[in-house]
Amino acid sequence: MKQTSLPRPGTGTTTPRPGTGTTTPRPGTGTTTQVIAFTITRVILNTLHRMVYPFLAVLARGVGVDIISMSYALTARSLVGTVGPFAATVADRRGRRFGMLLGIGLFTLGTAIVVFWPTFPALALSIILSTLGKYIFDPSMQAYLGDRIPYARRGRTMAVTEFGWSLAFILGIPLMGFLIARNGWMAPFPLFVLLGCIIFIALSFLLPKDGPSAIVHGPSSNFRLVLTSVPALAGLAVGLLASAGNEVVNLIFGVWLEDAFGLQIAALGAASAVIGLSELGGEGLVAAFVDRLGKPRAIGLGLAANCLAALALLFLGRTEAGALVGLFFFYITFEFTLVSIIPLMTELLPSARATLMAFNVAALSLGRALGDLLAPRLYGLGFWFIVLGAVGFNLLALAALRKVKTAI
């Protein structure tokens, strides 16, 4: 099957509206309203996704299990990321609107299960279903915006929706903590059910009915398109390697702060605030600069800056304040890189956008798994090796990026 050709970056060339074969009008008020709705939706989805970590012990006590049992549920959640491409192909076959509504529906169903059945099996199933819903919604939304926003302006729009990740940490998690402190571990779940229903209804009205992409492929054909496209595979490698490099530091920074300064609670509390603010800053920088710089150049600059930030940890990390400053720069440069990758990926394979974006989620999950596997072993050799691991993965990502540039 013939693939849709790629527009040149910066030309503002539009892509066919799914199912119609006609060009999409320039983004207007309707698109702006949808982007705001998408961002709010992602704040809610990501709040549930991220709240498990700070409240892990509270949730475990609530359902009468230990931390190890909860870790099994989180392991199952991580595996959901690898099956995301199979589920998200529905957005290429049935339309972006259908994919987004299916994702919200699964999220709402998952949270409702806990409300009616507050047990550990229900909580584990809830974590899995809500995560699957997120991994269907996100690529469907990104494919929808990729269909409608010209490539030259797509980076800013994608970055705005990514505020849903950092705002979940800055706003959503404190709200969940307040609810749990007042009403117990289950308090957030009825609220998530209510918000899920509201979002489902709102998006049903806001999103136009659509159909499959202009060139219809079955799941196996879409998979073949992704797995035989060198630029697509190289783009996936960039995300996987950058994510692995970040995770090498991410997994171990709390242990490092404890070992170095002996102030676990204070240091980790401050580090959490640093991470949230740096993520927000990285997304803001992408919104401001990625379209002007060009997506490949922005990714390259982000990877190079992340290498420098990792090396700076060796010198700044001699004091607690310096370590937090170093972590801020490390995370802001990673977030800038990661968010810059998203609009680039939406343009590599327009005829299978949702499928490729789901593969991107899977690649990021595999990158984190790789970093989690290596980090303790590297730290056992010394913090120098953590830094070298992060820099090494970033350099490999830069090499993979050269293959992507040939397609853009």
37 and 101 in a single domain? The answer is yes
167 and 314 in a single domain? The answer is no
Q: What would the DSSP string read from start to end of 146-196?
A: HHHS-HHHHHHHHHHHHHHHHHIIIIIHHHHHHHHHHH-TTTHHHHHHHHH
Average pLDDT over residues 98-123: 94
Count of domains in the chain? 2
Lowest mean pLDDT among 103-112, 188-197, 212-221, 387-396: 212-221
Q: If you average pLDDT over every residue of the chain, what do you get? A: 83
Which residue range is the domain that position 299 belongs to? 222-405
pLDDT, residue 376, reads 85
Helix axes 295-316, 264-293, angle to 10 degrees: 150
Q: Is the pLDDT of residue 277 over 80?
A: yes
Q: Is 23 helix (H, G, I), strand (E, B) or coil?
A: strand
Residue 231 φ then ψ, to 5°: -60, -40
pLDDT, residue 275, reads 78
Look at residues 226, 195, 253 and name the one whose alpha carbon lies nearest to residue 357: 226
Average pLDDT over residues 14-35: 52
pLDDT tens by residue, 58-96 = 888 899 988 778 878 877 787 776 776 677 677 777 788
**Angstrom distances, CA of residue 65 to CA of 58, 68, 257, 360:** 10, 8, 29, 34
HSE on the CB side for 135, CA within 13 Å?
A: 29
318 and 344 in a single domain? The answer is yes
pLDDT tens by residue, 150-177 = 888 888 888 899 899 888 888 888 888 8
pLDDT, residue 102, reads 94
The rounded radius of gyration (Å) of the Cα atoms in the chain is 21
Beta-carbon contacts of 86 under 8 Å, excluding residues fewer than 6 positions away, are: 219
pLDDT, residue 12, reads 40
Angstrom distance (rounded) from CA 397 to CA 387: 15
User: Does 15 reside within a domain?
Assistant: no
User: Does 84 reside within a domain?
Assistant: yes
Look at residues 216, 257, 224, 241 and name the one whose alpha carbon lies nearest to residue 91: 216
pLDDT tens by residue, 246-273 = 988 887 777 777 777 765 545 555 566 6
Q: Is 399 helix (H, G, I), strand (E, B) or coil?
A: helix
Final residue of a structural domain among 212, 243, 277: 212
* DSSP single-letter state for residue 58: H
**Which CATH number covers residue 373?**
1.20.1250.20
- CB neighbour class for 393 (10 Å; exposed up to 12, middle 13-18, buried from 19): buried
Final residue of a structural domain among 176, 194, 212: 212
User: Does 19 reside within a domain?
Assistant: no
Look at residues 341, 331, 329, 242 and name the one whose alpha carbon lies nearest to residue 298: 341
Final residue of a structural domain among 165, 194, 212: 212
42 and 190 in a single domain? The answer is yes
Look at residues 300, 393, 346 and name the one whose alpha carbon lies nearest to residue 141: 346
